[in-house]
Structure 1
């Protein structure tokens, strides 16, 4: 029996997972990591804590699984758009600025006149969530510390991780993670001189760009202290696309984590004005492009609500609340959930706004065709259960708005869903009812890890047979009415 190791370094935890040649999960180990929310725009993590967490789970897996000699390849997936400044000896000189960190947004005000050019080159809408503006902030940090430019490295977290866990300490980055910096030319597959000039990030401080995939004979490197070749490196959402093997173009994936991400593989490169274009996979000869929509407030929006009400058990109660609200289905107007203007983390696609306050509003107060200008009318119920349902529905509403845009390119026949919040039946059924397509929930506890393991294994055919929970569309007039009101409240 041969095995494949997957390392999944996420926002809240690092995981090491072992899969057999049929794609079955053999064992997994997790180490939680801390995240510091200094304020709404400054969100940090500790670089050394992340490295130590990865080393710990990998060492535990190799020690307790006892199959190191049979592990033929390793894949690494990581949180995207998180960045760090460090010296070439591997010493960090800054915290990790999370993908949720938006401290660089001031620089973007000066770049608005270039936003069309920036999106055409990078595939990304101008946003402080991506790496470029944060790397510029880190450059200023390095200058204040008088760090010599010839020793300075400004990079996404993946490059820092690879330096510390691969045997030859390379300074590299895969195409999928490089693209999330907003400094990468999506067509040329290299750093863009124009983008690095616009964002004022010295290209000599950036890592070398490499394909997502390498073959075992010429891997990205070997895990330090082992003979295990690393043959796949990519962003976590990119890996999740392949959690059940190859995803067909008529099927999209919605991955519900800290944020929610809607992804669909493209048959060829196509730009999009309202959504993102990225790289799902690449090797030395080919590139697989992906269309992506981003909702910043998914699980993080529920965390926001818990903080607002000073509770910590919303997820435990949500299934019952969602069921009760669904059974009500408009029969009792007084018990209808409010609308939640979900701007937690900033509005992602297709709006790309960062300065709108998150609010609950009752539907009867929506009178304007553009109520974005009337967000001060916060007269909604303060009931926790109703607000929790409204948060979940806001996530579903934003996913559906993005699906409507995505289907202008190609009709979708089904949606695959994964991630923690996908375990909410009430969320999945609402998504089916509003989208009008079949929802397939993968019974995969580690979709991201399995996806990068599948890539590392060379894309074997047999990994597509996964168990699914299916949710079929039904008619829900009250939900459809709330969706129409939400869409009118947030025009794009």
Structure 2
């Protein structure tokens, strides 16, 4: 129903815990004295002066309480988590005449015409609005979404099924894979190990060696996300020798980011039944040309960097413009494109698979 895996990362179990552990919370919720929602609900509540308690379909799909096929809160899930329906916001489309701001806030009431979750907004901002188009955002983690049109594909390969947007009566869907630690790995090399002084230094350091000399880094600092889903896994570095240098570890870190993205993409291709022809990318990590080239080489397809740095904001603006009946100019495809080299990445991928299996085997033996 939800397209999600059962995990406290999503809202339902958190809401249930609050109702059970905050004195009087459940009783107040049953009396209709409390409201709960995702960040968009709070923002709309503030913008409207407390007059509108609502959420769009993309944000509602992250609560683990939504039936993504009907677009409505699911009675069975509400009963399972013991969450009163009155606590939750009204579900609205991602685009349209959704609410109005309080008149005092901006001198007059202004229409609110677009709401979306951050990754769905980035998908829209990247122009991935047709089946088979995919984007990956490189931040502290990586978040890859592939548009699947009006078909909600149930993943058999460890991905989530989510709502991409609702801009009309029809719901659009996407496959999603989240990698927990990518940019945060570079931060750890900087702050935890002191291998670099600034995050931007990693490109030159990693590029100073031709390969990682057999070093593989599995950055499972907070477990492993899609498609492996192991909350108990922990980070590990394999293949260290007396000849290992900080440059080899830096290169292994960039490889780990690209290899985790590869795992998600292969799962998406298996679920969608078709190869990815191009990956559109955004986020802070895309300024690292070495990482982007590694990514193209591993995926075996072009990697197109978005010309606009903030595609999430662009996507939200596009949805709002659509809801207001304003035509926005489509951005030209003038971003940098990294083409895959002809060199084989099979050995590196096999090395990664072995390290990953060793990490997961260690979890099983604990």
**TM norm structure 1:** 0.65
Distance 1:464 1:248, change over 3 A: farther
- Distance of 1:443 and 1:283 partners within structure 2: 25
Pairwise CA distance, 1:275 = 0.6
Structure 1 portions without partners, runs of 5+ = 1-120, 330-334, 364-378
Q: Say yes or no: does 1:486 pair with 2:344.
A: no
Pairwise CA distance, 1:382 = 7.6
Tell me how many residue pairs correspond in the alignment.
346
Distance 1:146 1:187, change over 3 A: closer
- Distance of 1:304 and 1:380 partners within structure 2: 22
Q: Aligned residue for 1:231?
A: 113
Pairwise CA distance, 1:164 = 0.8
Pairwise CA distance, 1:180 = 0.4
Deviation per residue, 1:297-335 (Å, 9 max, x gap): 12222233334225773412112023223xx14xxxxx6
- Distance of 1:447 and 1:403 partners within structure 2: 20
1:320 to 193, 201, 204: 204
Deviation per residue, 1:110-159 (Å, 9 max, x gap): xxxxxxxxxxx100112221112222222234237787333222322221
Q: Aligned residue for 1:296?
A: 180
- Distance of 1:357 and 1:168 partners within structure 2: 43
Q: Aligned residue for 1:387?
A: 249
8 Å CA contact 1:401, 1:487 repeated in 2: no
- Distance of 1:146 and 1:189 partners within structure 2: 25
**TM norm structure 2:** 0.86
Q: Say yes or no: does 1:340 pair with 2:217.
A: yes
2:192 to 305, 308, 311: 308
Distance 1:235 1:313, change over 3 A: farther
2:155 to 263, 266, 272: 272
Q: Secondary structure at the match of 2:267?
A: helix
- Distance of 1:380 and 1:291 partners within structure 2: 43
Distance 1:482 1:445, change over 3 A: same
8 Å CA contact 2:132, 2:148 repeated in 1: no
8 Å CA contact 1:309, 1:384 repeated in 2: no
- Distance of 2:111 and 2:242 partners within structure 1: 55
- Distance of 2:245 and 2:78 partners within structure 1: 48
Q: Say yes or no: does 1:462 pair with 2:300.
A: no
- Distance of 2:68 and 2:213 partners within structure 1: 45
Report 1:11-22 matches (<5 A): none
Distance 1:183 1:145, change over 3 A: closer
Deviation per residue, 1:79-105 (Å, 9 max, x gap): xxxxxxxxxxxxxxxxxxxxxxxxxxx
8 Å CA contact 2:220, 2:233 repeated in 1: yes
Q: Aligned residue for 2:306?
A: 442
Pairwise CA distance, 1:248 = 3.9
Q: Aligned residue for 1:123?
A: 3
C-alpha RMSD of matched pairs (Å): 2.5
Moved more, 311-320 or 234-243: 311-320
Pairwise CA distance, 1:487 = 1.9
Q: Aligned residue for 1:357?
A: 234
